[in-house]
Amino acid sequence: MVFNRQIKYYYLRLIRLRGEPHELALGLAFGVFSGMLPIMPFQIALAVTLALFFKGSKITAALGTWVSNPLNWYFHYLFSYKIGASLLGIPEKKGFSIIVNAVEEGDRFVSALWKITEAGGTIIAAFLIGGLILGVLLAFPSYFVFLKFFQWIRMWRRGIRERKVWRKETG
């Protein structure tokens, strides 16, 4: 029950965001792009910086980074690593087994990150390249989907305002 209430709260906050649909969708796309990069503590900072530079919404940029969250980190990093490793010609199991072992041992995120860093530059490069590719592949469609979403919200709000004005004039 509490979870449903939180979902409704965040949904209402999302549809009440102010700004042009382009700005809101652009910020969200930057957030999705940054969220796909394996730079966990810096995703929001990168997304907001990109939004500032390209005049997108900073709030939706920060929200968009939640595309990578604790529920999907494993799969997110698995796909990032597989894509990057295949492009760099690294044996697939070499680097990702470090993360799997860290998760199985119950390591915290920081210690898992430290183990990845110790594994070497090619492993890190595989994660970064895979994350960049996933980020680009997901950011572009998310921009267009959320542009339509925010345009729909704007039309919906305009319809509500027009009905209120009509009721005042006729009532």
pLDDT at 72: 74
In this prediction, residues 38-45 reach a mean pLDDT of 85
Q: Is the model's pLDDT at 143 over the cut of 90?
A: yes
Please give the residue range of the domain that contains residue 101. Answer: 2-170
Q: How many domains does the chain have?
A: 1
Rounded-to-integer distance, Cα 52 and Cα 58, Å: 7
In this prediction, residues 147-170 reach a mean pLDDT of 80
Confidence of residue 135 (pLDDT cuts 50, 70, 90): very high
Rounded-to-integer distance, Cα 168 and Cα 8, Å: 30
In this prediction, residues 36-55 reach a mean pLDDT of 90
Rounded-to-integer distance, Cα 105 and Cα 94, Å: 18
Residues in the chain: 171
- Measured between alpha carbons, how far is residue 97 from residues 4, 21, 40, 160 in Å? 36, 42, 19, 54
Backbone angles phi, psi at 72, to 5 degrees: -125, 10
pLDDT at 138: 93
Confidence of residue 19 (pLDDT cuts 50, 70, 90): confident
